[in-house]
Amino acid sequence: MTRYKLTLEYDGGPFVGWQRQSNGLSVQEALEEAIFAFCGERPNLFAAGRTDAGVHARGQVAHVDLQREADSDTVRKAINFHVKPHPVSVLAVEPVDDEFHARFSAKWRAYRYDLLNRRSPLTIDRGHVWLVNAALDVEAMAAGARHLLGHHDFTSFRSSICQAASPMKTLDVLEIQRNGETIEIRARARSFLHHQVRNMVGTLKLVGEGKWTPDDVAKALAAKDRSAAGPTAPPDGLYLMEVGY
């Protein structure tokens, strides 16, 4: 039995999320079926982060245990062949020891959220960014974001169905950068609450529009009440970029 670490890229649009569900095709199911087609085994695939429906990945990490002996490049090519036509790609495969766990061994996870700030409708980027028509003040958004850095109770930015044992999280990075019409929000932490990134983005959009002040973000955080923060940003613009071990 060999444990393989897989680095993955996928378009989350056609999927119900990472985790297997009864209401549609998940990324996990698409990959596990591809592995079955390759080697006749039905293993469990474990991911670093269970991305929601519509959320994308450029650097998701998963691991799988296989009895079949094969070199890493063969495993990568075989899974990529059998996972077609689903928009999933195995970027890299490497054997790891049995102590490695894609989820529990991770030291941090990095996400990026993309907003397209313009008045014209989406074409090419449809399903991959959040289109915001109103002009956004990036400096004000960055000032609001600074209130969220560090170790806090993030109840105000937590989904009502979040299963985490505690709302306490440490946010190491929350950076905002404009490049023309595109605004990128980058977040990094050891782990995140369910919808935490999307709820932070929805809140910072209110600041960018001038509906909130940067200090209102601090007030929302201190309230420890989901209703005190902004709306949940759509999944379209969210990408799991990298996982650190």
- In whole angstroms, what separates CA 234 from the centre of its chain? 12
Task: List the structure tokens of 123.
Answer: 């074409």
Bridge pairing between strands 56-66 and 238-244: parallel
Catalytic residue among 11, 52, 97, 215: 52
Task: List the structure tokens of 16.
Answer: 């119900």
- For residue 7, the one-letter residue type is T
d(CA 65, CA 73): 16
Task: Specify whether 52 is catalytic.
Answer: yes
d(CA 220, CA 205): 14
Locus of tokens 């941090």: 108
Q: Show which residues are catalytic.
A: 52
